Amino acid sequence: MPKKILAVDDELDVIYTVKHGLEGLDSDLEVTTVTSGKKCFEFLESNETPDLILLDIMMPDMTGWEVLKKLKDHPSWKNIPVIFLTARTDRVAENAGSFLGEDYIEKPFKVPELKQRIDKILNKLT
């Protein structure tokens, strides 16, 4: 059964790279992409819960921090592992992202490294 990844990012080139890069490396990954926090919750309410969420921090309307808080406050979604994927490179964001999420990856990133870090987290869960 494929592992389901939900990528939440407002940059279309990033979600394209994540989806096609990860699915190209591993046919056991199924990547769904949405472009906002609002669309993330619309997806979660009407679909199967993903195995992992890749979450951008800097998005309009709802930041990654706000999305994470809402995820953690919901009984069905609070245990979904989250990897922050962001252009923010400041120490505060890195420390908070590593503490609040399972991992923190700065853009630009290399898809094989992203896959390796996803695998590490998913392997802990099985």
73 Cβ contact partners less than 8 Å away, ≥ 6 residues apart = none
Tell me, what's the pLDDT at 102?
A: 86
- Residue 61 backbone class (left: φ over 0; alpha: ψ -120 to 50; beta: rest): left
Written as tens digits, the pLDDT of the chain (126 aa) is 899 999 999 999 999 999 999 999 999 999 999 999 999 999 999 999 999 999 998 898 999 989 999 999 999 999 999 998 877 566 655 555 455 678 888 889 999 999 999 999 999 876
Q: What is the pLDDT of residue 72?
A: 94
pLDDT of residue 88: 59
Say whether the peptide bond before residue 81 is cis (omega within 30 degrees of 0): no
The pLDDT of residue 8: 98
In 67-83, which positions are buried (b, 16+ CB within 10 angstroms) versus exposed (e)? bbebbeeeeebeebbbb
Alpha carbon distance 19, 25 (integer Å)? 10
pLDDT at position 87: 74
Structural domains in the chain, CATH included, are: 3-117 (3.40.50.2300)
